[in-house]
Amino acid sequence: MNISIFKITTILPTQIAGFAEYTFNKRNKHLKEVVMKRLVLFFNIFMMVFASSLFAQDGKFSVGIVTSHYSDYDSDSHFSALDNPTGMGILVGYRISEDVSLALTSEFFTGDMENNTGSEDVIRTSLSGFFFPFNFNTVNPYLTAGAVLSNSNKDYDNRDSISNSKLMSRLGAGIDVPLVQRLSLNADLGFYGHNFKYTGWVQSFGLRFAF
């Protein structure tokens, strides 16, 4: 439990604060307003689900928030051109059995591109399956695999904007740490591929409620 509290009070808030600080320092006022509205929406959904889950019985559905940071390996097929690819999002999950579950995740990334060439917005949507080979009281390790659709809009300073979509595959592993009834902390490391090439990895942390 001490390890779980440490992760919540240090790692997760640090990533969220870093994303917020980087976003609010952007030059585009309109984009700041859009991002702020999205963050408020994520927070409201999170709090509503939390309140309802306090009075619900354990079920097969779950909802949560997640923050992720990407590191590119292949510059030709990389996730994005963001200088700091850190984002936030929400997820909805469904438990098929005690060992298998599915999750649909949507994340929003925004910031300046590398070499100060402009700004970029990325919406990443993924559908993943999770397999839990072992179930313990303190920690539940899992394996995950799925598909990711990345929609990017690059706004260059000295040329026309470019929008594109990219479909990627994902393999990963992580741990689910129960905190209290229906509330768990997730830590995940995933590896991405595009056109049968390894493109990079992602670190993710999140909170999830079951109801």
Q: Please write the tens of the pLDDT for every residue from 41-97.
A: 555 555 555 554 444 445 689 999 999 999 877 655 566 788 889 999 999 999 999
Counted residue by residue, the chain has a size of: 211
The span from the first CA to the last CA of the chain, in angstroms, equals 22
Q: Are the C-beta atoms of residues 152 and 80 closer than 8 Å to each other?
A: yes
Domain map of the chain by residue range? 2-210
CA gap 200, 192 in Å, rounded: 5
Closest CA to 9 of 189, 52, 209, 17: 17
Q: Which of 8-12, 34-38, 159-163 has the lowest mean pLDDT?
A: 8-12
Q: What is the mean pLDDT of the chain?
A: 80
Q: Please check whether the domain covering 2-210 is classified as CATH 3.40.50.2300.
A: no
The SS3 call for residue 108 is: strand
- Model pTM greater than 0.85? no
The answer to whether 137 and 179 have CB atoms below 8 angstroms apart is no
Q: What is the mean pLDDT of residues 107-115?
A: 90
Q: CA-CA distance, 91 to 93, in Å (whole number)?
A: 7
The answer on pLDDT for 14 being more than 50 is yes
d(CA 63, CA 47): 11
